[in-house]
């Protein structure tokens, strides 16, 4: 199994860009598609344990804008877990899990460190 896991949704532009970069640079990885492979509580808790909520949730997404004002109030960890389980498209993409930590979003400099 690859030591890098790329999390996201296959039709996302940033995921396409990330996969293309990883393939071009011969970086071995496995891809976890939230729609195909699913997302569950342990994955979200792992993200929350390692990534700040402000980085994890994409507040510029269409999914975020469609939420009610009440849903946007993130008052507790259990509420965040519940929100992300119901709305995985709120998770900023890609999330790249490496041996040393996590990369959130496609950033050329951070990806260069994966080589």
β-strand 102-104 against 30-33: which pairing, if any?
A: unpaired
77-86 helix and 41-50 helix, angle to the nearest 10 degrees? 130
Please tell me which residue in 4, 5, 9, 12 is annotated as part of the active site.
12
Q: CB–CB of 48/22 below 8 Å?
A: no
Contact status, residue 73 vs residue 47, Cβ threshold 8 Å: no
| Active-site residue, 3 included | no
Q: Beta-strand (E) ranges in 17-115?
A: 30-33, 95-97, 102-104
Report CA 72 to chain centroid distance, whole Å: 18
Helix (H, G, I), strand (E, B), or coil: what is residue 104? strand
Task: Provide the annotated active-site residues.
Answer: 12
């Amino acid at each position: 199994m690859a030591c890098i896991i790329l999390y996201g949704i296959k039709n996302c532009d940033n995921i396409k860009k990330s996969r293309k970069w990883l393939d071009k640079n011969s970086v071995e990885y496995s891809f976890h598609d939230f729609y195909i492979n699913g997302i569950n509580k342990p994955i979200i808790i792992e993200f929350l344990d390692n990534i700040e909520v402000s980085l994890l949730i994409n507040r510029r997404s269409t999914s975020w804008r469609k939420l009610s004002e009440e849903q946007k109030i993130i008052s507790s960890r259990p509420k965040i877990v519940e929100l992300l389980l119901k709305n995985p498209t709120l998770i900023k993409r890609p999330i790249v899990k490496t041996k040393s930590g996590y990369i959130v979003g496609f950033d050329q400099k951070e990806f260069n460190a994966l080589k």
